[in-house]
């Protein structure tokens, strides 16, 4: 119904506890704009920033500090607190968020778009099948949505849809039900990489599908070297970079960073992300890959780390104002926009927080 307006090193896994929690001084930087922008998953009504956030939030990065730190600012919040939706995408100059947890359910079909020019949100046509952790990508004049979970971070479905700016239409179903995939357009196709399958036996997979909208068909390419879900994904100079993520659970987060060459159909290792994490935002911005936010065992990350492909190295920048995971992050113009997400480990609390990062 409509709305009312620490690491993984050498290929081995490690428990990703992460850096120490925020200091009392850092906790004091919580801003007034956060008041009333949170809601518990199972209970209605707005709440303030949860106390557990202060125990879980970390912002210290092991990466060298970048000369240009950048800064964050608060923007118009989401109409309702949301988390674990599709990783956000830019479509026609706006940030789109599809599906996720909201209003005491985990299978919402909600679809909001944020316009940075007017600093405002609009509710758009809802996804035909409500789900969380939907895989999304834009290609040409369409926004595509693949799979997702219909229970809390488990039990995926196989349906897929395309949005033309007005309405959603079904496209060919996935070969297998899956959620929390990394999706991105390259050339005239969409790559669908990794993800998780199953219900009580939920597990990460290494699959690599390519969807061709012209034929409405999927084909398989070289799988990821290590199966994982909740990863970051970007395209740089014709190669797909897949960064971080979890192997079955956030207790075994990964700092792996692979780049895929579509011409050779092969994966190569690149410098690992300094902070192992999953459910983070990942974007290509100012000739670098930026990764921000994410989740781990009793941790919610605010680290904002960037990767330089030319030097194969990472640096750290100004951390997020409000550390979160399971949120959307996109680049529009000269800013990175990050909306929604969970302020503590797990999906028990959702946020309406919307903040933007600039380097200048």
Number of domains in the chain: 1
Instruction: From residue 63, give the alpha-carbon distance in Å to each of 202, 216, 234, 278, 284.
Output: 32, 43, 20, 17, 18
In a domain, 30, yes or no: no
Which residues have a Cβ under 8 Å from the Cβ of 174 and sit 6 or more positions away? 146, 147, 158, 159, 160, 192, 209, 218
The pairs formed by 306-310 with CB atoms below 8 angstroms and a separation of 24 or more are 306/66, 307/241, 307/243, 307/257, 307/270, 307/271, 307/273, 309/236, 309/237, 309/270
Domain contains 352: yes
76 part of a folded domain = yes
Examine residue 138 and state whether it is found in any structural domain, yes or no.
yes
Rg (CA), the chain: 18
17 within some domain: no
In a domain, 351, yes or no: yes
What is the largest distance, in Å, between two alpha-carbon atoms of the chain?
56
Residue 148's SS3 state is coil
The pTM score is 0.92
Q: How many degrees, rounded to 5, is the angle at CA 179 between CA 177 and CA 181?
A: 115
Specify the pLDDT at position 32: 63
Whether the Cβ atoms of residue 258 and residue 251 lie closer than 8 Å to each other: no
Tell me which DSSP letter residue 35 carries: T
Cβ 289 vs Cβ 306: under 8 Å: yes
Residue pLDDT tens, the chain, 360 long: 344 332 332 233 433 444 444 433 334 444 567 879 999 999 999 999 999 999 999 999 999 999 999 999 999 999 999 999 887 999 999 999 999 999 999 999 999 999 999 999 999 999 999 999 999 999 999 999 999 999 999 999 999 999 999 999 999 999 999 999 999 999 999 999 999 999 999 999 999 999 999 999 999 999 999 999 999 999 999 999 999 999 999 999 999 999 999 999 999 999 999 999 999 999 999 999 999 999 999 999 999 999 999 999 999 999 999 999 999 899 999 999 999 999 999 999 999 999 999 998
Does 214 fall in a domain? yes
pLDDT of the residue at 28: 43
Residue-range definition of the domain harbouring residue 195: 36-358
Residue 15 falls inside a structural domain: no
Question: At 146, which CATH number?
Answer: 2.120.10.80
């Amino acid at each position: 119904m409509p709305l009312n307006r620490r690491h993984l090193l050498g290929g081995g896994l490690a428990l990703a506890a992460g850096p120490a929690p925020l200091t009392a001084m850092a906790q004091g930087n919580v801003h007034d704009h956060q008041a009333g922008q949170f809601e518990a998953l199972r209970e209605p009504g707005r709440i303030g920033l949860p106390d557990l956030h202060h125990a879980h939030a970390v912002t210290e990065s092991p990466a060298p500090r970048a000369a240009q730190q950048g800064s964050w600012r608060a923007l118009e919040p989401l109409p309702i607190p949301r988390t674990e939706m599709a990783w956000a995408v830019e479509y026609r100059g706006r940030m789109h968020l599809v599906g996720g947890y909201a209003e005491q359910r985990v299978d919402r079909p909600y679809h909001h778009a944020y316009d940075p020019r007017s600093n405002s949100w609009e509710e758009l046509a809802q996804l035909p099948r409500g789900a969380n952790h939907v895989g999304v990508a834009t290609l040409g004049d369409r926004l595509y949505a693949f799979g997702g979970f219909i229970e809390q971070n488990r039990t995926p479905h196989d349906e897929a849809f395309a949005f033309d700016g007005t309405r959603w239409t079904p496209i060919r179903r996935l070969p297998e039900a899956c959620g929390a995939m990394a999706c991105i357009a390259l050339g005239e196709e969409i790559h669908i990489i990794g993800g998780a399958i199953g219900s009580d036996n939920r597990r990460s997979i290494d699959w690599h599908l390519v969807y061709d909208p012209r034929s409405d068909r999927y084909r398989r390419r070289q799988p990821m070297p290590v199966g994982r879900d909740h990863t970051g994904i970007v395209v740089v100079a014709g190669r797909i970079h897949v960064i971080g993520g979890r192997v079955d659970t956030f207790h075994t987060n990964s700092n792996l960073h692979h780049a895929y060459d579509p011409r050779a159909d092969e994966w190569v290792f690149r410098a690992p992300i300094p902070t192992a994490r999953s459910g983070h935002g990942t974007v290509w911005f100012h000739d670098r890959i930026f990764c921000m936010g994410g989740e781990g065992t009793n941790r919610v990350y605010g680290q904002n780390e960037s990767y330089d492909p030319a030097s194969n190295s990472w640096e750290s920048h100004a951390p997020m104002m409000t550390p979160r995971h399971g949120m959307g992050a996109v680049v529009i113009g000269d800013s990175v926009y990050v909306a929604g997400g969970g302020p503590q480990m797990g999906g028990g609390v959702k946020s309406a927080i919307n903040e933007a990062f600039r380097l200048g």
